Structure 1
Amino acid sequence: MAEALVSLLIEHFGSMALELIEEEVRLVKGVDEDVANLKTNLEDIRAVLKDAEQKQLNDASLKRWLDKLNNAAHDMDDVLDEWNTAILEFKIKKEEEAENNASSSNKKVCFPMPSSCFYFTRVKRLTLRRDIALKIKELNQDLDRIAKDKDNYNLNIKRIVERPEHRQTTFLIDETKVQGRDEDKSLLISKLLSESSDDGRHLDIIPIVGMGGLGKTTLAQLAYNDETIKTHFDKRIWVCVSDPFEEVKIAKAIIEGLGSSGPSSVELNALVRCIHESVEGKKFLLVLDDVLLEDYSRWETVHVALQNGAIGSTILVTTRKQEVSIMMGAATHQISLERLSEEHCWLIFSQLAFMERTTEERAELENIGRQIARKSSGLPLVTKTLGSLMRFRKTISQWEDILCSELWESKDVKVREIFAPFLLSYYDLPPLQKRCFLYCSVFPKDYDIERDDLIEMWMSQGYLSQTINSKKEGRDCFESLAMRSFFQDFKEGEYYGTITCKMHDIVHDFAQFLMGSEYVLIEVDGIKENKKEVDESTRHLTLAVRSEDHFLTLRHNAKNLRSIYIYADSNKLHVDRILLFSHLTRLRTLTMDDCEFEILPEDIGLLKHLRYLDLSGNTNLKELPGTLFNLYNLQTLALCNCSSLPRLPEKIAKLVNLKNLYIFGCCFEGLPKGIAKLTGLLTLDMWVVPKERKTYLDLGDLKMLKYLQFQSILCIQRCANAGNLDEAEKINLSSWQHLLDLTLEFRESDELYEIGEILDDDTEILESLQPHPNLKALEISNYQGATVSPTWMMSLTNLTSLELNFCTKCEILPPLGKMPSLVSLVICCLDSLKKVGPEFLGIIERDEEDHGIARRDQDTPSEPSIISFPRLKKLKFDWNEEWKEGKSGKVTG
């Protein structure tokens, strides 16, 4: 950890941060020398850090030295950021004062007078200059002592080797086939198909039991996705459980998986009743992944509700504990997973380690490779980690370094038996990737990590550069960590181009092991809370709150926190009861999504260092405090689905560093004109076309935010308000070559059925919103034109997903069957659509396609060769009330 932070600090000292310091602080005597000493000491220390981080595992004294260094490095980072923030604040206030003076001069003649405000600002500036100089001097003295102490540990200088560029490959492809589980898969599927209440039960339970890293989840996935299983069960539900066993969360996940509309209440009894009704008469398969609970009383409530399913319904449980199998009364049905054989481990290892190597290289490395693969002890996860590590090591000597590492003989049993392979892979990472990996420990276990959210959190912690290319830098880092097998379960997100993943529990434990006291998880359920406490060494906190009545306040001991992730399972969270922002002034990242709080305290404005704020899903939030717009460092503001929030204030213009603004799901009448001043904005997921153009930004104003053309997702709401087609054409969507996912929503749903006639204006507006041919996903909704066939539709040759929703006046569909890349097509609530025919399918006769070339057999009658929808996998027609022809299987894809 220290190596990564020190490396980043050295970069800061050579960057604009230092120039800003020199601009003001160097005027204080001696500061130049102190800054130079800081940088020299940091560079001397970095030279031995690689050796120190590896030796600390067996040397408690050395670990304490590293902790001191880590704390000092964080303090240095805070001082740098404090000064940069002060400089920024002075500049913004100076610009505001100039604007106010200009505004006043237009109204009346003013006589120049001495300004008490100017005098106060100057005094404050001089005081701050001395304060920052004093802090730098104190930090320099501390670092001097730490640098001298390093000589007590006989640390070796290790040259920092630049990693050669390697060809990037997509992490979405499973690089290893599942090895050695064919018999286990056959046995499991056999049980799932044949187990039938031989003990008089309606509900069978099959546990898969084995130690972490054996592939229990993988085996469950193989069965869950098997075609015979899909057809055997009416419903399949997958729920990640982990620790603790949260009945409410699990019940909600089961209801969602059943496709039922859950109750408005989140009381367990109401949820259980809903499950009981939803499963009645259905044969279902429920997978409960990673169950650790041993208390039958907490399991019984959910279990009883599930017994209302049809005979043959089954619960498949994966667990590391034999006690879970016994508690569920299913020990006689369990599958005990064993370690893989050496040969199967070798097959997994070699597939990764020898990727892109020649036959000669493979032969040269095979002998030592088999010895390394043997170190995995039959665990597939460990084998993948070692294979991924060796993939980037080219020579025999580099492979021998891994085979002969001292970590395999560590005194720490946990390191020797569990973490050694992960440590070897971790030590092989460059400093930036180390820090980014460790940060992932702040997510709860089994959490779906959204790649771009993670990258923005890395940015907020200062790990990535602050340029327009920072997201690309973050994606490269993510890709590298993925290829090291630190992430798994990759999925396409809800929008095209978005990626989610998870961390295996063992990898998550490993990250938290390395973070040590820097990371704390506090669980509060109103009755008890875990014994971990936040102290001055804690930098990152995950707070799981399961009761709105519990009072918990993070006070002075939490002053060094840099990120807080609040996970609320209660109906309503009182933020002011949990966080006292005045003591959390070093916070960079704050996530409070789906907490259902109504009020955000005014003192959030004290978080001057804050760069990432996620308030998404708080549907009761009605107003943003004005102090929030004093957070000049804020880079990401997420307000998705804050449906009670009526507007964004004009003050948003003060967030001069804002790069990402997420507002999808908010019910705004328009966007404030102040957004046009956020010229560095990289992401804005929703644009609202207003009725009142004097008050809000118009559609044509999008062109003022030039960097938005580099984003991949955009929703334009209330397109019907774009009565001035010139405004719609000004944005020139056809030039947005990076836009991959576009939603065009013409009006609010409650306005839809007030319209009786076809609207030609909708047709013209749709025509003017032509996207670039690179577009991958398009949704058109609440559109009232007679046809949804703009001239540009068939030019979208890269389109993979198309949705037409509530286009209630549309009678004819374009020849969508000709679209060569279309994979998913959803047509919902086209009330005027009466039929679909050849024009929709795009059917072409072969002799027409061949331009009259004579057929070989002139006597054979011509038969149409159907080439419609060559890649279509999903076709859905839903709630098309007037549809009379094409229903009975005539439409195929």
Structure 2
Amino acid sequence: MAAALVGGAALGAAFGELLKAVVKARNRALMFNTILKRMESTLKSIIPVIKEIEELNKVLDRPKQEMGQIMEQIKKGEELVLECSGIHWLACWKRPKYAGKLIKLEKSLKSFFEIVMQAQQARDGKETLLEVKDLRMDLKRLDLNVKTSRAHNVNGYIAPLVLPEPLINPIGLEVPLRELKMELFNDKVSMVVLSAPPGCGKTTLAKLLCHDKEVKEKFGDNIFFVIVSRKPTLESIVQRLFQHKGYEVPQFQTDEHLVYHLEQFLKSLAPSAILLILDDIWPESDSLLDKFNFQIPNYKILVTSRSSLRRFGSSYKLKPLNDKDAMTVFCNSAFLQDKSSNIDEDVVKKIVKGCKGFPLALKVVGRSLCGEPEEIWKRKEMELSKHGTIFEDDELIHCLQSSLDALDNKIIVKECFMDLCSFPEDQRIPATALIDMWAELYELDEDGVHAIANLHELSNRNLIDLCVARKDASGYYNKHFVMQHDLLRELAILQSSLESFEKRKRLIIEIRANNVPNWCMEQKQPSVGGRLLSIFTDEKFSSNWCNIQAPEVEVLVLNCRTKTYSLPDFFGKMKKLKVLIVTKYGFFPTEIRNFPFLGTISNLKRIRLEKVSIPSFGFTSVQFKNLHKITLVLCNIGQAFSSTSTIQVSDALPNLVEINIDYSNDLVELPVGLCQLIQLGKLSITNCHKLVALPKEIGNLVNLEIVRFSGCIELAELPSTIGSLHKLKILDISECSEIRKLPEQIRDLQNLRKLHMIGCSNKIELPPSILELEHLKEVICDEEIANLWEPFVDQLENLEIQVDKEDINLNWLYNVGF
């Protein structure tokens, strides 16, 4: 019987001791505060129930079950919690390892709690054994098990719905925030629709609400911020909610099945209050809201939309900024720190009036005029004065268009802005993907310096949001991401469509289900003249491609959502194609069925795959004659680099000079085949949390100049053969916390200039042979590692120790590519 699962007072006492340890640890181990807070809440719920079940056992005269296993788990849990409380907050490299253990403990407690609660509800004499059996089966079907996470960014980009960063000194939103909060706290209201035209600040206000003190006190850890966008899928939203709370992400068979388990998920959070924010619901997608509308106490939904969606509960309409606030926002962008200006005040007022109080327009227009002569300001005034008082979307786009025209004297920067529309709306865009594109389209430098500079310029003009999750002094930009307002994306698409079909520089194609554009079906199909082609396909697409004529395309961006994906047949006719970017949006990777097709493109130089399952022998099934660079992010690699009976890796990839593998889920050992690629100059294996070993054959890669193993938290050692890499200039082993010793052969790296050791173990052994690294200029590390280097500094004249001030920005996680 379920009630008999509780085995006496000793169990209650054990839980009590664990609770004491958790409370103690919360006050000391701040880096684990969120996990411990949840665990404390669970324990406080469990202990009273145990006492009730013990009394129930006596009344029903049910035998006690053997509880040795759960008792042992509780005892080990107490030891783990006490150990965590002794970890200094500066030892952040220990967090992934212990966070995983704490979450595993939390999983056991939750599972036990669910079973005990079910038993308590059945104490009226029903067959509790059957109840628990059903519960266990339901848990098994749901697979609601807490998933162990090994790093602060939660297994790569698949991360929780981290709340957006709070705004600093928001202007003109104090009153709307107060009014919106009152509406949301109304007990008679379950859903509030926050509506306003695009660019008016809906999302900004919603983000501000997330960090309001009273809102956080009421909803605690149950605040979910979900960006929905124009073509949402219920499945992707629900999967993100499950992931956010640490549950295994399920695959749902039907919509009914999905809605049922969504309701069960939300009820499992009760009686705690829940706030679900659905950002950017389009009118044509309002039926989605019906799926979330459950009768659950203290469950609130906030929706942001361009439409008021009047059939859904209460509505709050956000008004444009008043004249005073509009002037402040504009001047902050236009004049920066220089509050005194020689621009005529009347000109400024007329421009501000022309922006009609829309924060987006005020910021973009203001920044475009910053530092410009008065004549440019007057021209802007005249352009804005031509429009009426009703500020519709088209007019706002025209207003923003005039600001984009300010980039006419910076053609490449403007083209870079236009290229951003190649990626889906409201999704983070990896800077590394843009670097690949722009290196070929505009001959920008391979290292990405000019590309990143262009992104900073666009960010300074408020045309994009550039988020740097963490700066990398080695010149690696895998933690740089771009977000673009959907209205600015529409502007770029509109601008591109103004040219005739044959003369367009870029072509954006969206395929919903199998509904291809009409021009694709014409007998005399027009030829795509642009150099950039981007194609979006949704979950219902069956890879039923039309025949697109695109002989001039040099960059192909494929954005997909299906579990299997076939490359288009016309792919083989793109003789000028140099860059291929394939990104799967969703939780589970896509499988490219005709992967060898990639080898038919003779000029292909760069391949970037994100969330793709690469088949066995994928990169050795054919020859990739001119391929220079491979980037694999969140990919299942398997045997992708294994040699076939006829083709060796060195023959399949004869000109490959750079390979980047980031967040691979199944990379345990670096494939020996990669060590045949002696022409490699850059090797980056980062955030591969299961990587434990490097082959000794890595010493064969004698042309390597840059090697990165950062974030490989299980990597135990560097092989002694690494000393053969005589051309190596940069070595990055940051956050490789299991490496306890640098090999003696490191002395042979006579060209080594930079060594990155941020987050390494403070017990790592530095061999005396380090003194032979006469050309080593920089060691970038944290304070503890700096102390280990101190004895060597005086003897290495060129060496400078740079102590890293950890600056991790998690704001990019609130949107993770779904």
Give the structure-1-normalised TM-score.
0.57
**Which residue pairs with 1:519 in the alignment?**
507
Q: In 2, distance between residues paired with 1:486 and 1:221?
A: 19
Instruction: Rate the CA distance shift 1:774–1:721 in 2: closer, same or farther, 3 A.
Output: closer
Q: Which residue of 1 aligns with 2:300?
A: 314
Displacement after TM superposition at 1:614 (Å): 2.2
1:855-866 aligned within 5 A: none
Q: How does 1:30-179 map to 2 (within 5 A)?
A: 177-179=169-171
- SS of match in other structure, 1:677: coil
Correspondence for 2:578: 588
Give the direction of change, closer, same or farther, for the CA distance of 1:417–1:464 in structure 2 (3 Å limit).
same
Give CA-to-partner distance per residue, 1:681-725, whole Å, 9 cap, x none: 3755489786753xx324xx566312x16x7x735587446464x
Q: Corresponding residue for 1:638? A: 632
Compute the displacement of 1:179 (Å): 1.6
1:251 deviates by 1.9
- For 1:559-598, what aligned pairs fall within 5 Å after superposition? 559-570=551-562, 572-576=563-567, 578-594=568-584, 596-598=590-592
Matched, 1:670 2:639: no
Whichever residue aligns with residue 522 of structure 1, its letter is E
Q: In structure 1, how many angstroms separate the alpha carbons of the residues matched to 2:713 and 2:745?
A: 15
What's the CA shift for 1:773? 9.2
> Aligned pair 1:371/2:350, yes or no?
yes
- Aligned residue in 2 for 1:235: 222
Q: Deviations over 1:161-213 (max 9, x none)?
A: xxxxxxxxxxx999984221110011122333x222x27xxxx1111111001
The aligned amino acid for 1:565 is V
Find out whether 1:443 has 2:410 as its counterpart: no
The counterpart of 1:283, out of the listed 269, 273, 277, is: 273
Per-residue deviation, 1:404: 3.0
Paired residue secondary structure (2:710): strand
Q: Determine if contact 2:548/2:570 at 8 Å carries over to the other structure.
A: no
Once the two structures are superposed, what CA deviation does each residue of 1:536-555 show, in whole Å capped at 9, x if it has no partner? 23644443333467242242
Sort the Cα spacing of 1:796 and 1:506 in 2 relative to 1 into closer, same or farther, 3 A.
Answer: same
2:796 corresponds to: none
Alignment of 1:191-202 (within 5 A): 191-192=183-184, 194-196=185-187, 198=188
Shift of the 229–789 alpha-carbon distance from structure 1 to 2, 3 Å rule, reads farther
Match in the other structure for 2:734: 742
Amino acid at match of 2:608: D
Measured after TM superposition, the shift of residue 291 of structure 1 is 0.1
Q: CA deviation at 1:558?
A: 4.1
| Cα separation, 2, equivalents of 1:658 and 1:633 | 8
Distance 2:333 2:286 in 1: 42
CA offset digits 1:251-303 (Å, max 9, x no partner):
22222233322214575445434432322214221111110144665443343
CA contact (8 A) 1:630 1:655 kept: yes
Max Rg structure: 1
Q: Which residue of 1 aligns with 2:13?
A: none
User: How far apart, CA to CA, are the structure 2 residues paired with 1:523 and 1:575?
Assistant: 14
Mapped pair 1:455 → 2:435: yes
Q: CA 1:407/1:509 → structure 2, altered by over 3 Å: closer, same or farther? A: farther
Relative distance call for 1:705 and 1:640 in structure 2 (3 A) is: farther
In the alignment, structure 1 residue 424 sits paired with structure 2 residue 399: no
Matched residue, 2:194: 208
Aligned residue type for 1:573: T
Residue 537 of structure 1 aligns with an amino acid whose one-letter code is V
Q: In the aligned structure 2, how far is the partner of 1:702 from the partner of 1:218?
A: 49
The separation in 2 between residues aligned to 1:302 and 1:733, in whole angstroms, is: 58
Selected match of 1:335 from 316, 325, 333: 316
Say which of 616, 627, 630 aligns to 1:622: 616
Equivalent AA in structure 2 for residue 421 of structure 1: L
Tell me by how many angstroms 1:346 deviates. Answer: 1.2
Pick aligned residue for 1:612 from 600, 606, 609: 606
Cα distance in 1, alignment partners of residues 725 and 687 from structure 2:
14
* Aligned counterpart, 1:245: 232
The CA distance in 2 between the partners of 1:476 and 1:629, in whole Å, is 35
Whole-Å Cα distance in 2 between the matches of residues 173 and 315 of structure 1?
Answer: 20
Paired with 1:494 and 1:661, the residues of 2 have a C-alpha distance of 17
Residue of structure 2 equivalent to 1:536: 527
CA contact (8 A) 1:679 1:705 kept: yes
SS at match of 2:357: coil
SS at match of 2:176: helix
Q: How many residues align?
A: 580
1:400 aligns with 2:378: yes
CA shift for structure 1 position 247: 1.7
Deviation at 1:679, TM superposition (A): 4.7
**Partner AA of 1:477 in structure 2:** N
- Change in Cα spacing, 1:745 to 1:621, as seen in structure 2 (3 Å) is farther
* Matches of 2:671 and 2:236, distance apart in 1: 36
Letter in 1 for 2:564: L
Partner SS state of residue 630, structure 1: coil
**CA RMSD in angstroms, aligned pairs only:** 4.2
- Corresponding residue number in structure 2 for 1:391: 370
Q: CA deviation at 1:402?
A: 2.5
The aligned residue for residue 484 of structure 2 is: 503
Please give the secondary structure, in 2, of the residue aligned with 1:550: coil
Question: For 1:404, what is the secondary structure of its paired residue?
Answer: helix
* Matched position secondary structure for 2:399: helix
1:714 aligns with 2:710: yes
Letter of the 1:661 partner, please give it. Answer: N
For the 8 Å contact 1:442–1:565, the answer to whether it is kept is yes
Contact 1:775–1:796 (Cα < 8 Å) also in 2: yes
Structure 1 pair 235–629 and aligned structure 2 pair: CA distance change class (3 A) = farther
Amino acid at match of 1:500: F
Relative to structure 1, the CA distance from residue 801 to residue 272 in structure 2 (aligned partners, 3 Å threshold; closer, same or farther) is farther
Inter-CA distance 296–346: structure 2 relative to 1 (3 Å threshold):
closer
Q: Residue 705 of structure 1 corresponds to which residue in structure 2? A: 704
Closer, same or farther: CA 730–743 of 1 in aligned 2, 3 Å: farther
Answer whether contact 2:201 2:359 (CA < 8 A) is retained: yes
**For structure 1, which runs of at least 5 residues remain unmatched after alignment?**
1-171, 747-761, 781-786, 803-818, 826-870, 872-893
Change (3 A) 1:268 1:625: farther
